[in-house]
Amino acid sequence: MKTIIITGGAGFIGSHVVRQFVSKYPQINIINLDALTYAGNLENLKDLENKPNYKFVKADIVNENEIFEIFTKYQPDGIIHLAAESHVDRSISNPLDFVKTNVLGTVNLLNAAKNIWNGNYEGKRFHHVSTDEVYGTLGDTGFFTETTAYDPHSPYSASKASSDHFVRAYQDTYGLPVVITNCSNNYGPNHFPEKLIPLCIHNILNKKPLPIYGDGKFTRDWLYVMDHAIAIDLVFHEGKNGESYNIGGFNEWKNIDLVKELCKQMDSKLGNSVGTSEQLITFVTDRPGHDLRYAIDATKINKELGWKPSVTFEEGLSKTIDWFLANQEWLDNVTSGDYLKYYEKQYS
């Protein structure tokens, strides 16, 4: 049986990718490698625990020796690398953590793959999952394409840009078979509630303020997480070595408009009077280096691999809200302890 290691598989996006691969490919061993930091949660994968082709391994990609031992033991044919520090606000407070995980951790994985494959790259692949934030910011028009120059503005996006460059360097220098995907903002079930959509769902349920940075006009392209998992599956199996693929929802929303749509749907689902949740909107001081607009041109992956989003944003948001309402125990567990302390510090 082939073996694929998926890093960060206990996180939000990673857990959906793990489920996609474990369920779709019973003939492939899937190793979920995760350090279980604050955003990693094995509750996301309870339904897979007893699957014969699934195994969880607790490890930190920053630990070079540990990663080399794991790769030597399992001899993976493929690596799908999602493990990352990903929250911009945290990167502003603790940039070195992002350098260690996103840059050094990625290089550790590249070295481990290079060493165990030892030039025998037939049937092998290293898939690096990145972000649209590496491209910087857009004005009112235009889109990020695969050839857009990198222009990161936060410690988070700078660390991801650096990791992208290392992946390409290993392709060019050592011939390592790599693909890179850069995706827009994801949303959906299991989303850690420091991010905008689950944060607002949680706060509406608890009648707390909905914090919106600046004037709320910062614009993002949003993609339902399960569509992202399908795209990763497609690129991993059918993408061309050395290529990058942008993954986006063709779906731009200003933050304030998104939150208002969420409030409207929440009021409807909770039986509240129209406008009840919207009264909780609170504008807070903008964060440093806040990019104005992201927008992905996903034409390449559509034309070359036939991928496109399966749901509209309104449909995906409704599915997301339904999941959180049906899993309030999960939400309560995640929003306790250290997360609450961070939340109070970040948004007070």
Give the number of other CB atoms < 10 A from CB of residue 124: 18
Residue listed under structure tokens 């694929």: 4
Per the annotation, the verdict on 156 as an active-site residue is yes
Give the Cα separation of 266 and 72 in Å (integer): 49
Per the annotation, the verdict on 339 as an active-site residue is no
Give the Cα separation of 239 and 245 in Å (integer): 8
The catalytic position among 133, 221, 227, 291 is 133
The catalytic position among 54, 135, 156, 343 is 156
> Strand 125-131 and strand 2-7: pairing?
unpaired
Torsion, CA 213, CA 217, CA 219, CA 225, rounded to 10: 50
Residue 78: partners with Cβ closer than 8 Å, 6 or more residues away: 2, 3, 4, 5, 124, 125, 126, 127, 236
Instruction: Answer for the pair 154, 132: CB distance below 8 angstroms, yes or no.
Output: no
Q: Sheet harboring 185-187: ordered strands across?
A: 185-187, 219-224, 252-254
The catalytic position among 34, 85, 132, 291 is 132
Radius of gyration of the chain (CA): 20
E runs forming strands in 36-183: 54-58, 78-81, 125-131, 178-183
Per the annotation, the verdict on 133 as an active-site residue is yes
Token pair in block for residue 7: 């890093």
E runs forming strands in the chain: 2-7, 28-34, 54-58, 78-81, 125-131, 178-183, 185-187, 210-213, 219-224, 244-247, 252-254, 281-284
Give whole-number Cα distances, 103 to 19, 88, 162, 287, in Å. Answer: 26, 15, 6, 23
In the chain, the amino acid numbered 17 is: V
Torsion, CA 163, CA 158, CA 133, CA 235, rounded to 10: 0
Continuous H helices in 118-181: 155-174
Query: Looking at the annotation, which residues are catalytic?
Result: 132-133, 156
